[in-house]
Structures are given as C-alpha cells and as structure tokens.
Structure 1
Amino acid sequence: MAIVPVNPLILKDVILSFGADEYQASVSSVVFTPNSSLQTWQGLTATSTHTASTSATWSADITHIQDWDTPNSLSRLLYENEGAEIPVVLKPRSGSGPSFSVTIIVTPGAIGGAVNSWGESTVSLGAKGRPVLLAGAATIPVITGADKSTGPIAGGTLVEVSGSKFTGATAVHFGTLAATQFTVESDGTIFAVAPAQAAGSKPIKVTNAVGQSTTTAPYSYA
C-alpha cells in the first residue's frame, strides 16, 4: 500500500473566466458544488430496504461585488444574459496546477443591499454536467531575481534564486557552467553555489524536465 503525498489546495491568485473575459477581480468566493440525494425503496418486510444515491447535479456558487457602472462587469453579464449558457473556467492557482471547466446557465445576481455597506451578491448558477478537470500544463522555470548579483571568480558563493516552477529542477547554471550544488527549497526558491569561472557577466538560469528558463538573474564575477 502506497502512502499518497498531498499538495493542499489554497485559493491564491485565482483565475475565473466567463467566456473570453476574466472576472477574478470581481469575485470573493467561487465554489463548484455537487448536489445529490438518497432514494430509498421499502418493501413489505423489514429486510427489503434498498437505498441508492442519485447522480449529482452541479452548481457554480459565486459571491461577487455589484458593479453596474462598468459596461462588461460580471453584474451586467449575469443581468443581461439570463438563461444563456456560458463556459466558465476556474483555475485555483494561476501559476500552476489544474483547472476546471463547466458550462453554466446564467442567473442574475441580487441588486442592492444594506446602507453604508458593499453591495455584494451571491448567486447559484446551474451547471450542465460535471466540471471537467484539466491537467496543468508543464512549463519551464521562471526566474524573477537573486539575492546576490556579484561574486568572486573563485566561486563558492551561495545564491538564493527566486521565481516559480522550480520543483523538479535538474540544473542551475551560471552562464554556461553548472552550479557546484543546488537545493530546491520550494517551487519558488532555489539555493545554488556559484562555480569558479572567469570575470564577467554570467546570468543565472534554471532547468527542469521541460526546458531551461528564458528569464535569468544577473550575476557577475569580479
């Protein structure tokens, strides 16, 4: 029996699209919810009881801020397209991981609210079928910076590299030379030891199974 690892979901930098437009800036909560019930048949004897679950029906439960001023706001989209069918895609983490796609049937959200409070509205949109799980596409690493930009030609400097897609990294290079060693601290952090080489600019690059980063961190030997 295998011990299955876990990568807990936390909604962060979420992408939520209705058709071609994204509305994550207007939404504070989104949940694709399955709904099912139990059906029981009882015969004339105590032991002739049979129970089965119905197939789940789904809804997209969305809490959004009311915005009636912006022409293509989510409030207006729901209000003006009642009964229409629109594809919705939810990507819980914009930088990585899978996404979910489902076609929803539009229901308008509420209008108005309490005085001196934000006009927030929660709407339950019926979904056609079960959301489709779309696997996250593997991509090359992305480097956003490093904590050191210079080091001696003798090498040996420990450099903290920041970015994303570092999980599973296979190499870190300073110019064309590989780091003498590196440690993947997290998907966004790598610690690498600079190798010895001649003076000059040797940008830092990270490689994974997909390829080498096209973004680099500047690093110079002196």
Structure 2
Amino acid sequence: MAAIAVKPYVFKNCVLNIKDGATDLGTFEAAVSSAVLTPSVSVVTWQGGIPASVFQDTTTPVWVFDLKHAQDWETAGSLSNVLAANAGKALTFALTGNGSAAAPKKATFTAICVPGPYGADVGSVAEAAVSMPVTVAPVFA
C-alpha cells in the first residue's frame, strides 16, 4: 500500500460574503478572526437478541457556523450591525479559505443569523463570538 503524503490546509486570506436572497450584504473578512463550520454526527446502534444481530449507521450531519469578529457598532453595514439587524433570519454565507493560490476551498451554506454580544473587558478590543445553526448544509467547491 502506498503512503499518502499529507499537505496540511492553512486557513488564511479568507473571504466571508453574506447575502440576503439576491441582495449582497458585503464581505466581512477584515472583521473576522475565526470562521469554522463544524458538523455533528451521531452513531445509531440497534442490538438484537444475539451478539451478531447489530445494526449501526450514522445520522445526517447537523452543521454549526462559529464566527469570531471584532465588534463594530459605528460603521454602517458592519458585521456587528448586519448580524443584529438580521437576527433570526436565514442568510446565505460563502466562506472561502485560500490555503494556497492554487487550491482555494469555498463553502456555501444557509444559516440562521445570530447577533453577537455588545461590550468587552475595559481597555481591550471588543470581540464577539456567535454560533449560528446551519439550515442548508454546506456545498464545497
């Protein structure tokens, strides 16, 4: 069997675009310090009356989009203001990470918008962390 070489993916130079239907709300990568899509999958097991009677399968992935960003309540159209103005609304997100110029990876998905917190420790940059439920699974290209 051949040894498969590994080429770790470095997530950098990302682009985060948000749309409300056909309306482009903007790109927000300058405000983002972390953007992670995480699937959750459960294993389902059924055990019959004998040891050999076992059924196992997995559930369909349920995705969550975790986002950390600098709070900006002053700039019109900032990520903080977009998330707050669209709380509870399904928006389309396109997240592209560019590990190398030759191999960008893009995920497009729909998530329920969750507003971020307001405020922080005195004397620090106010950062917000939100976790948004994904309602339409990511399509990777």
Map 1:115-126 → 2, pairs under 5 A: 115-126=122-133
Q: Determine which structure has greater relative contact order: mean sequence separation of CA pairs < 8 Å that are 6+ residues apart, divided by chain length.
A: 2
Indicate the residue corresponding to 1:11 in structure 2: 11
Normalization by structure 1: what TM-score? 0.54
Indicate the residue corresponding to 1:87 in structure 2: 92
Segments of 5+ residues of structure 1 without an aligned counterpart are 135-222
What SS does structure 1 have at the residue aligned with 2:8?
A: coil
Q: Is the 8 A contact 1:57 1:129 kept in 2?
A: no
Shift, 1:4, TM fit: 4.9
Q: Give deviations 1:159-185, integer Å, cap 9, x for gaps.
A: xxxxxxxxxxxxxxxxxxxxxxxxxxx
What SS does structure 2 have at the residue aligned with 1:121?
A: strand
Residue 56 of structure 2 corresponds to residue 51 of structure 1:
yes
Residue 135 of structure 2 corresponds to residue 128 of structure 1:
yes
Identical amino acids, percent of aligned pairs: 35
Normalization by structure 2: what TM-score? 0.82
Indicate the residue corresponding to 1:98 in structure 2: 105
Residue 124 of structure 2 corresponds to residue 112 of structure 1:
no
Alpha-carbon RMSD across the aligned residues, in angstroms, is: 2.1
Residue 80 of structure 2 corresponds to residue 75 of structure 1:
yes
Segments of 5+ residues of structure 2 without an aligned counterpart are none
**How many residues align structurally?**
134
Stretches of 4+ moved more than 6 A in 1?
none
What SS does structure 2 have at the residue aligned with 1:131?
A: strand
In structure 1, give the amino acid aligned to 2:61.
Answer: A
Q: Give deviations 1:46-94, integer Å, cap 9, x for gaps.
A: 4433222111011111111111111211111111101212111111118
Deviates more, 1:86-95 or 1:42-51: 42-51
What SS does structure 2 have at the residue aligned with 1:77?
A: helix
